[in-house]
Every structure is written in structure tokens, then in C-alpha cells.
């Protein structure tokens, strides 16, 4: 297929430059994977201190829709990807006119809108929570009572628990809709969950697919806190269904790249798709240390047309998300965590993202423990949580 369709050519050999829109930690880890394989990396991100920009061969410090910046990225790159779903789809379309882009703008646009996500799930027969589009106070007043209590989410630009309100009734829905600024929203029926899992799948331009093992996740305040692999609390049959459903989504929308689909597991074992991310996912970071191919290696392969080989899990893993609170103590003083004690624990793999300022809720890094058995990784992760003051692990 042509570059204008945003699909990678047969193969881009090492030595070429790969472009990425966005310069956060996902782009940084993509750059590390690409550079290990012999590629150079060009990053477009307006932040002069962006984590990926600081390690890339070229950092274009322009806005995402800046014509000159996009032209330069296309000039130097053999193919281009994105690190986050909220990059303007128009930027991807502009680049795709000159270079292969994966994922394509049309698939990223689906993931940018929660309602379009739901439409995509329904279209391919993947169960999702009962829901309704709320675009006005009239919609809120007329909503089906069966959807309450529920969770009201902004249709766009919501992530990590942002742009969400739990609502008990129509009055609460009206208040929450106003609090969110009256923007287009999706109301989802609140479900009783027994587990949350995710599947990272990689699909190339020829339709070949591979995936990481199913990841079991724990969230706090809408932000991922812990990931365990293998998923201990989810039946093997449910894990198999999750993989099949994630593959179905990727194939249905013609996705090329790395895609993460999150699922809720209900008490009867039913799976309900929550959302999808058109990029590597926080829950897949453990794969850098526990698999022979990480999610970022897969991103490089789907972008360059390299063969997709199924990743193998060689170690059980528990991953802790490291948020800015760990650096902040009473009074607001910044204190570096006791990494020396953490690194004395067997199987510890510390990944810090190079962000210069710690803020509450900001993802500063992750800490993965690997071991031959899941229980051993869990013990070490608990010890690290105690050292770092991570509560409720």
C-alpha cells in the first residue's frame, strides 16, 4: 500500500530514522527500542525538556500542527508513529501524505472519542458497558434510568481518571454534565467488577498479529497502580477470550501498530471492553524486563515492516507505577526516594523517565520485579512498596 494510506512498506532496514509525534515516556521507551535495533529517532514535541526529545538524534521543538515542523519530520523520517492518542489527527494525515504512518489517523481518531470507541466495539461484536451519548442537559434529563448509577466521561481528552464523574441519578448527572463544561460526554452504566485486565496486540500491514500475555491491573483514582503477569486472578478461559476480542478489534478497524484493549471482568466471568489505546500502554511496560520482545520492540517492528514474532514471557512480573507523590513529602519538599534499598531487592528493574518536576499523579517511572514464580515477584514488590511508602498494595 502507498505512503498516503499510512501503512508501512515491506521493510525499513536499520540505519533509517524513525519519527514519533510526542516526546513523553512512551516515545522515550520507543526510542530506546529503536536505537537498540540500529535506528535513529526524530521526535516532534514542543517541550524542550521532553523525555524522548532529550535522547533522540533530532528533537523538533514545534507545535504538533506546525507546518515547518511536520515537513522537517517527514524529510528526515522513513516512517512515523505517535506516542499518544490525543495528537491532532490532522498532523497524522499531513505526514501520511508523504511517509508511512502507523497507526493511521482514522484509527487514532476512533480512540480519541469514547463514543466512537463504543461504536467500534459494538460493530465488531465486542461487549461493552451499556451507555448513552450525553451532549446536552436535555439528553441528561431523558437518559434511560437503567444506565444509573453510572460514570459520566468526557467523550474526548479524558485519561487517567480525568474528565470523569460518578453519578447516582438524573439530578447528579445534570450537575456532573455542567461540572465537565457541557462538552460531549458518554454515560456508562456502573458495573460490579472482580478484575481489570488488558491485552496489548501488535498488527502489521499484512494483517499478521501477535500479543503480550494478558495483564491483570489494579487502578487507584483512575490511574494504573499495579500490573501482574501472569494474571493470577482471572481464569484461563477468560484470558483466552480477551485475546480473541482484542484481536477482533484490531482486525475490524484495520489497525496497524501496537494497540491496547482494556477489559472489565464481571462476577460471572463476562468480559466487557472498557477502552482502547492506539499505542503501547502503561500496563505493558513490564514486557521490557519480563519478555524477550517488549511492546516497544513490537511497535518498531510494525512501523518498519519487520517480521512479527510472538513475545515469550520468560519471567513472572509485578510492575509498580511510580507517581510524583513518591517524591513529595509533607510541606511540599521534594525528596528522592530510597532507590538504594529498592535496588537491593532481587529482581528489581527501575525505569525513570527523565522528568524534571514531580507532581501529584504524574507518571515519573515504573518499577518491575521479575522472578521465576509469580509469588516471589509479588513478595519483592510488596517489600519495595513498603520502602517507598506506597499504601494499600
Query: For 166, what's the count of Cα atoms within 13 Å in the CB-facing half-sphere?
Result: 7
Res 233: pLDDT? 86
Answer whether 165's CB lies under 8 Å from 179's CB: yes
Answer whether 323's CB lies under 8 Å from 364's CB: yes
DSSP, collapsed to helix, strand or coil, labels residue 126 as coil
Average pLDDT, the chain: 93
Res 1: pLDDT? 36
A 10 A CB-CB count for 351 gives: 18
Helix orientation angle between 114-123 and 236-252, rounded to the nearest 10 degrees: 100
From CA 108, how far away is CA 210, in angstroms rounded? 20
Tell me which of 271 and 393 has the higher pLDDT: 271
Confidence of residue 157 (pLDDT cuts 50, 70, 90): confident
* Average pLDDT value for residue range 40-64: 97
Confidence of residue 8 (pLDDT cuts 50, 70, 90): very low
From CA 4, how far away is CA 23, in angstroms rounded? 24
pLDDT in tens, 318-372: 999 999 999 987 666 778 999 999 999 999 999 999 998 999 899 999 999 999 9
From CA 10, how far away is CA 301, in angstroms rounded? 11
Res 5: pLDDT? 47
pLDDT in tens, 104-126: 999 999 999 999 999 999 999 99
Under the phi-then-psi rule, with left for phi > 0, alpha for psi from -120 to 50, and beta for the rest, what region is 16? beta
Quick check: 4 pLDDT over 60?
no
Res 391: pLDDT? 80
Answer whether 285's CB lies under 8 Å from 366's CB: yes
pLDDT in tens, 190-232: 999 999 999 999 999 999 999 999 999 999 888 899 999 999 8
- Phi, psi of 136, rounded to the nearest 5 degrees: -155, 165
pTM: 0.94
Domains of the chain: 3-101 (3.40.50.20), 130-189 (3.30.1490.20), 193-388 (3.30.470.20)
pLDDT in tens, 78-114: 999 999 888 898 999 999 999 999 999 999 999 999 9
Quick check: 290 pLDDT over 60?
yes
pLDDT in tens, 251-261: 999 999 999 99
Confidence of residue 384 (pLDDT cuts 50, 70, 90): very high
Answer whether 14's CB lies under 8 Å from 49's CB: no
- Beta bridge partners of residue 151, listed in sequence order: 166, 188
- Beta bridge partners of residue 257, listed in sequence order: 203
Quick check: 32 pLDDT over 70?
yes
From CA 266, how far away is CA 51, in angstroms rounded? 38
Res 158: pLDDT? 61
Quick check: 53 pLDDT over 70?
yes
- Range in 47-56, 60-69, 383-392 the model is least confident about: 383-392
Answer whether 259's CB lies under 8 Å from 103's CB: yes
Res 333: pLDDT? 72
Quick check: 374 pLDDT over 90?
yes
Q: Determine what percent of the chain is predicted with pLDDT higher than 90.
A: 85
Under the phi-then-psi rule, with left for phi > 0, alpha for psi from -120 to 50, and beta for the rest, what region is 99? beta
- Beta bridge partners of residue 61, listed in sequence order: none
Amino acid at each position: 500500500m502507498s505512503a498516503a494510506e499510512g501503512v508501512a512498506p515491506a521493510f525499513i532496514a536499520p540505519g533509517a530514522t524513525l519519527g514519533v509525534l510526542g516526546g513523553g515516556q512512551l516515545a522515550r521507551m520507543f526510542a530506546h527500542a529503536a536505537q537498540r535495533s540500529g535506528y535513529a529517532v526524530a521526535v516532534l514535541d514542543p517541550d524542550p525538556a521532553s523525555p524522548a526529545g532529550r535522547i533522540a538524534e533530532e528533537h523538533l521543538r514545534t507545535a504538533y500542527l506546525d507546518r515547518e515542523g511536520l515537513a522537517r519530520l517527514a524529510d528526515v523520517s522513513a516512517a512515523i508513529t505517535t506516542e499518544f492518542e490525543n495528537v491532532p489527527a490532522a498532523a497524522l494525515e499531513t505526514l501520511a501524505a508523504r511517509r508511512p504512518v502507523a497507526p493511521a489517523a482514522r484509527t487514532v481518531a476512533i480512540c480519541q472519542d469514547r463514543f466512537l470507541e463504543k461504536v467500534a466495539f459494538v460493530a465488531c461484536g465486542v461487549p461493552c458497558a451499556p451507555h448513552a451519548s450525553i451532549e446536552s442537559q436535555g439528553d441528561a434529563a431523558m437518559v434511560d434510568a437503567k444506565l444509573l448509577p453510572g460514570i459520566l466521561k468526557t467523550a474526548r481528552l479524558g485519561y487517567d481518571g480525568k474528565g470523569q464523574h460518578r453519578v447516582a441519578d438524573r439530578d447528579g448527572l445534570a450537575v456532573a454534565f455542567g461540572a465537565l463544561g457541557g462538552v460531549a460526554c458518554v454515560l456508562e452504566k456502573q458495573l460490579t467488577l472482580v478484575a481489570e485486565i488488558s491485552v496489548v496486540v501488535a498488527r502489521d500491514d499484512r494483517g499478521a498479529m501477535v500479543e503480550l500475555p494478558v495483564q491483570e491491573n489494579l487502578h487507584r483514582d483512575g490511574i494504573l497502580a499495579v500490573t501482574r503477569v501472569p494474571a493470577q486472578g482471572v481464569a484461563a478461559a477468560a484470558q483466552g477470550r480477551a485475546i480473541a476480542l482484542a484481536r477482533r478489534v484490531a482486525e475490524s478497524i484495520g489497525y496497524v501498530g501496537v494497540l491496547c484493549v482494556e477489559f472489565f471482568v464481571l462476577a460471572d466471568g463476562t468480559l466487557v471492553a472498557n477502552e482502547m489505546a492506539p499505542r503501547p500502554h502503561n500496563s505493558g511496560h513490564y514486557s521490557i524486563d519480563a519478555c524477550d520482545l517488549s511492546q516497544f520492540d513490537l511497535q518498531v517492528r510494525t512501523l518498519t515492516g519487520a517480521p512479527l514474532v510472538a513475545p515469550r514471557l520468560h519471567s513472572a512480573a509485578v510492575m509498580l507505577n511510580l507517581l510524583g507523590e513518591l517524591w513529595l513529602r509533607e510541606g511540599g519538599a521534594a525528596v528522592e526516594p530510597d532507590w538504594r534499598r529498592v535496588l537491593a531487592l532481587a529482581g528489581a528493574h527501575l525505569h525513570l523517565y527523565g522528568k524534571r518536576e514531580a507532581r501529584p499523579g504524574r507518571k515519573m517511572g515504573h518499577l518491575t520485579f521479575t522472578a521465576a514464580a509469580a509469588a516471589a515477584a509479588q513478595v519483592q514488590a510488596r517489600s519495595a512498596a513498603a520502602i517507598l511508602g506506597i499504601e494499600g498494595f
